[in-house]
């Protein structure tokens, strides 16, 4: 797999309309945003040492980005607890940067290595935040052909946003949703009941999520029941206690039902690749969409193998070139 922190991002922090912030990590093929790694100016900012970003964006970077004349740009929305340091983000960023694309990773609230300012965080159906991120990134390169990639939860949020905001997202050239939990009820049940999957989920997602939740409970007394938070065992527990009530849903089931993107595939007007491995431990194959569930703009690709954002090829431990190349092929040819 690609090593962490190979792609060196420049970070821009943007305030949201409700008083929080979003961190965007940028890479561009020309100019200082590319973070060449040479010279004193590109020393790692100590505040960002624990992230995949090297330094904060400066006015010179903004000017260089605007003047770069880049014709293609990609905005990446990461998966649950992911970010610009995630192996898939690194692999995709490298691949597209090498082909002269501008790449930006938009971090969900609280996922950029810094706690967000509010009691709320992020969720699978966060269409308003997604629309804000898309609009904010586009301002830097208004004439570029913009493409969106969403991984897992980020893919669900991206597709849901396109369905919820068709007019304001029509400028996107194409999108790709990778290993998307399109039916959150089926996926949430799998993550909360299957013993093996529950263990995987606990190690990779629930531990960091619980840590953040207990920290939030201390910062915002009365928001979350700390005792219940310490007893969380499943994703359903977490979403029942925190995600649902703090983001306007009744409970986990209401959240999973209303935030799922599967039902909007029929109305999508932007070309979309929806790629799901049929052996994904987190996404039950019977819950995957069929052609009849989709508009003509949607291309379903459901290979037998690939796991959850695995898709490695070559001898063990494998390399991660297949996925970025597959995404690029769709963006180039529509197939």
- Mark whether 14 and 159 lie in a shared domain: yes
Mean pLDDT throughout 27-41? 58
Phi, psi at residue 225, to the nearest 5°? -75, 105
E strands, the chain, are 9-15, 21-27, 53-56, 72-77, 102-106, 145-151, 174-178, 272-275, 298-301
Whether the pTM exceeds 0.85: the reply is: yes
Question: Is residue 56 domain-shared with residue 203, that is, in the same domain?
Answer: no
Domain span including residue 279: 9-183+261-333
The domain tally of the chain equals 2
The residues, ordered by sequence, that sit 6+ positions from 248 with a Cβ below 8 Å of its Cβ are: none
My answer on whether 227 and 114 are in the same domain is no
Same domain, 21 and 170: yes
Do residue 274 and residue 230 come from a single domain? Answer: no
Calculated CA dihedral for residues 147, 191, 24, 44, nearest 10 degrees: -130
CATH number of the structural domain spanning residue 81: 3.40.50.1820
Q: How confident is the model at residue 69 (pLDDT cuts 50, 70, 90)?
A: confident
215 with 327, same domain: the answer is no
The residues, ordered by sequence, that sit 6+ positions from 320 with a Cβ below 8 Å of its Cβ are: 1, 2, 87, 88, 91, 311, 312
Q: What is the pLDDT of residues 303-322, one digit of tens each?
A: 999 999 999 888 877 788 99
Predicted confidence (pLDDT) at residue 54 exceeds the cutoff of 70 = yes
Q: Quick one: average pLDDT of 149-155?
A: 98
Locus of tokens 């009744």: 250
- Beta bridge partners, 22, equal 14
Residue 1 lies in a domain: no
272 and 319 both lie in a single domain = yes
Q: Assess if residue 43 is contained within a domain.
A: yes
Q: Is residue 301 part of a domain?
A: yes
* Rounded-to-integer distance, Cα 106 and Cα 26, Å: 9
| Residues 142 and 84 reside in one and the same domain | yes
State residue 37's pLDDT score: 43
Q: Where is the domain boundary, 209, 237, 255?
A: 255
| Residue 145 and residue 26 share a domain | yes
At residue 2 the predicted structure's pLDDT band, cuts being 50, 70 and 90, is: very low
């Amino acid at each position: 797999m690609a090593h962490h922190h190979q792609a060196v991002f420049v970070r821009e922090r943007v305030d949201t309309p409700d008083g929080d912030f979003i961190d965007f990590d940028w890479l561009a093929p020309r100019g200082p945003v590319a973070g060449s790694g040479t010279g004193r100016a590109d020393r790692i900012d100590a505040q960002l040492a624990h992230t995949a970003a090297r330094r904060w964006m400066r006015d010179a970077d903004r000017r260089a980005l605007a003047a770069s004349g880049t014709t293609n740009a990609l905005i990446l929305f990461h998966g649950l607890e992911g970010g610009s340091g995630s192996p898939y983000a690194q692999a995709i960023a490298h691949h597209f940067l090498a082909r002269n694309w501008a790449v930006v990773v938009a971090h969900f609230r609280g996922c950029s290595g810094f706690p967000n300012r509010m009691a709320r965080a992020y969720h699978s159906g966060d269409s308003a935040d997604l629309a804000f991120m898309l609009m904010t990134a586009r301002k830097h390169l208004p004439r570029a052909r913009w493409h969106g990639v969403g991984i897992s939860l980020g893919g669900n949020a991206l597709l849901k946003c396109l369905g919820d905001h068709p007019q304001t997202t029509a400028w996107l050239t194409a999108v790709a949703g990778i290993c998307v939990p399109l039916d959150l009820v089926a996926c949430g049940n799998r993550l909360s009941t299957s013993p093996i999957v529950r263990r995987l989920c606990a190690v990779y997602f629930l531990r960091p999520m619980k840590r953040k939740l207990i920290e939030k409970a201390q910062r915002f007394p009365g928001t979350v029941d700390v005792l219940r938070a310490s007893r969380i065992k499943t994703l359903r527990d977490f979403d029942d206690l925190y995600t649902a009530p703090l983001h306007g849903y009744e409970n986990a089931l209401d959240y999973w039902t209303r935030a799922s993107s599967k039902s909007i595939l029929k109305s999508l007007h932007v070309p979309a690749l929806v790629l799901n491995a049929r052996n994904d431990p987190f996404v039950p194959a019977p819950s995957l969409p069929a052609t009849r569930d989709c508009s003509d703009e949607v291309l379903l690709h459901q290979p037998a193998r690939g796991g959850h954002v695995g898709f490695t090829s070559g001898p063990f431990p494998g390399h991660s070139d297949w996925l970025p190349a597959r995404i690029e092929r769709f963006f180039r040819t529509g197939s």
